[in-house]
Structure 1
Amino acid sequence: MNTKTSQFRKLLHKGLVIMPGAFNAYSALLIEQAGFSAYYISGAGLANAVFGVPDIGIPTLPEAAEHARRIDQTVSIPGISDADTGFENISATIKTFEASGVAGIHLEDQQTDKRCGHLEGKKLISAKEMGKKIEKAITTKKDKNFLVIARTDAAAVEGFDAALKRAKLYEDAGADAIFTEALTSEKEFAAFRQAIKIPLLANMTEFGKTPYLSIKKFEALGMNMVIFPMTLFRVAAKSMQQALVELKQKGTQKGILEKMQTRQELYKLLKYNP
């Protein structure tokens, strides 16, 4: 039995679970070192950082699950993984991600040719079809503590009221939690909290539709989980771009040494003593 699933459930009972996004095993180590109690694996992070492609559902189930396994085995804290639209076969998806070691996954109600949740042009499956996916996921999981989170992208497609209606249906279908994607105000988060009894996950991504809210604000709004899916990746990518400009223009990296993690710091994090 995966002890990280029960570990995550205990965190949920204690209060707001804050999950920075890990785009590889090393970033997960940094998250743990910084004192966070959980991490998140973004589908966009997998697509962008590992495959060098947009977040349009290109990675396969085996690739996504192996990515999750590699990250999870590196740290002692539990994590939640993006499972996109479920990779066509919900039973296989649940079984594969349970075996990867993560504490749970989320499934979204977009069509298979999905897009980033904060972009225009998303297409949804019917609420009824999504409800059946959730029911299948719940009946398939072997570990009762494995979290199946239902994500609805309806707010930006069908409107807020439709998103709330879908969330209630997904709750009735047996979802362990609801992921409220691309909400645009504190008022909308509060309305979800008032209407939904099960835990809620908020996405505090950058450059999207959701205003920048603090952890304290999410706590006050009654959220149970908040993810920062691409924060580390975006900071790392910008730093790498700047380092490459420096190297290209000056022909040496000497001027940016102070911005680097030292060899000693790296080895300390890896618990390596050569």
Structure 2
Amino acid sequence: MNKPSLKTALENGQFVLAPGIHDMITAVVSNKIGFDFVYASGYWMGASALGLPDAGIASYTQMLDRVATLCRVSNAGVIADADTGYGGLLNVHHTVRGYEEAGVVAVQIEDQEFPKKCGHTPFKRVVPAIDMIEKIKVATEARRNPETLIIARTDARQIEGFEGALKRGLAYGEAGADVVFLEALESEEEMREACRSVSRPMMANMADGGKTPIRSRAEMQDIGYSMAIFPAATGLAAAAAAEAVLNLLKHEGTSLSPDVPLFDFTEFNSLIGFDEVWDFERRWAREPKDEPR
């Protein structure tokens, strides 16, 4: 399947809105709804697969496997969070190559020290800007497909202030990043100033519960963004739904309640691919009497 081109979408002025996809159930539901692009979040994919916090604990190999699976299942172009590149410059080189071979349309790397932290939690530290600039140059050189975009994220807002984060964003764009991402901005004023100042396409992180104010697609376009991710929405919604049905089971002893909606099982069978399995069985299954002796 040919995936949509993020490069072409941005060049054509299409605003890119990508929901976070934290597991493959969400991926097949997303296919039903229909998105051109989705986001593979390190936080949410690590939490769903391993039950671990986004603190540099999940390895490159574990995340590559998760990202490759999403690229296989999703009909959308996958924008992939690659944390810090999982190490130094050689690691960045191999990360870009690995993610590109997995089928992503964009690789996001950030300027935190290893082990990194979720951008909306405390105790983050950033590397010197020159170190990240070198990572960006290695990343852009490592890609084999010109359609693969490099997204450069800075987490400097809470360490060096807005001006420090903006200075880094400008430098990262000049170093060759295709998209610039100032993480965890704390007001709409900061968001507008960042978009006015940086000439590269800008990405917003609409992390529900995080430091950045949530804005709609239309509002983000007005602010000046070219794309936005909603990494937490499906994970938080799934956790809330699971909590509701588990409470129902614990206290009422049943899964049936008008207040706790369940996805239709028959439709889910179709989404996950059972129609093809059953077609195969109808074609190839033998009656017991036809079994070879």
1:61 CA drift (Å): 1.0
Query: Which residue in 2 is equivalent to 1:240?
Result: 242
Letter in 2 for 1:209: K
State the TM-score, normalized to the length of structure 1.
0.95
2:75 paired with 1:73: no
Superimposed CA distance per residue, residues 227-273 of structure 1 (whole angstroms, 9 cap, x where no aligned partner) = 00011011101111121111111222122696101111202323533
What is the alpha-carbon distance in structure 2 between the residues aligned to residue 256 and residue 249 of structure 1? 15
Q: What are the superposed Cα offsets for residues 180-220 of structure 1, whole Å, 9 maximum, x if unpaired?
A: 10111222111111111111110001111111211110011
Do 1:202 and 1:225's aligned partners in 2 also have CA atoms closer than 8 Å? yes
What does 1:4-83 correspond to in 2, within 5 Å? 4=3, 7-12=5-10, 13-83=12-82
Which residue of structure 1 lines up, in the alignment, with residue 210 of structure 2? 208
Moved more, 100-109 or 252-261: 252-261
Residue equivalent to 1:178: 180
Give the partner amino acid of 2:69: R
| Aligned residues with identical type, % of pairs | 33
Paired with 2:273 and 2:53, the residues of 1 have a C-alpha distance of: 34
Which shifted more, 12-21 or 101-110? 12-21
Comparing 246-255 with 89-98, greater Cα deviation is found at: 246-255
1:32–1:11 CA distance, 2 compared to 1 (3 A): farther
Q: Which residue of 2 aligns with 1:136?
A: 138
- Report the equivalent of 2:290: none
- C-alpha distance in 2 between matches for 1:243 and 1:195: 47
Residue 105 of structure 2 is matched in structure 1 by 103
Q: Is the 8 A contact 1:32 1:38 kept in 2?
A: no
**Residue type at the aligned position of 2:160:** E
Q: How many aligned positions are there?
A: 272
| CA shift for structure 1 position 32 | 2.6
- Mapped contact 2:13–2:226 kept (Cα < 8 A): no
Q: What's the CA shift for 1:76?
A: 2.1
The change in CA–CA distance for 1:44 and 1:256 in structure 2 (over 3 A counts) is farther
**Deviates most, 251-260 or 86-95:** 251-260
Is this contact kept in 2: 1:246–1:253, CA < 8 A? yes
Indicate if the aligned counterparts of 2:42 and 2:82 stay in contact, CA closer than 8 A.
yes
Aligned partner of 2:117 in structure 1 is 115
Which ranges of structure 2 fall in alignment gaps of 5 or more residues?
Answer: 279-293
Q: Summarize deviations over 1:79-116 as a string: whole Å, max 9, x none.
A: 10110011111111111101111111110110011111
Higher mean displacement: 258-267 or 199-208: 258-267
Give 1:249's aligned residue. Answer: 251
- Give the Cα separation in 2 of the matches to 1:236 and 1:256: 18
Is contact 1:243-1:256 (8 Å) kept? no
State the secondary structure of the residue aligned to 1:227.
strand
Q: For the pair shown, which has the larger CA radius of gyration, 1 or 2?
A: 2
Does the 8 Å contact 1:80/1:102 carry over to 2? yes
In 2, distance between residues paired with 1:254 and 1:142? 52
Checking the alignment, whether the CA contact within 8 Å between 1:134 and 1:175 is kept in structure 2 is yes
Shift in Å, 1:72: 1.0
Instruction: Name the structure 1 match of 2:232.
Output: 230
Return 251-260 or 203-212, whichever deviates more. Answer: 251-260
- Contact 2:244–2:260 (Cα < 8 Å) also in 1: no
SS at match of 1:259: coil
Large movers: runs of 4+ above 3 Å: none
Give the TM-score normalised by structure 2.
Answer: 0.89
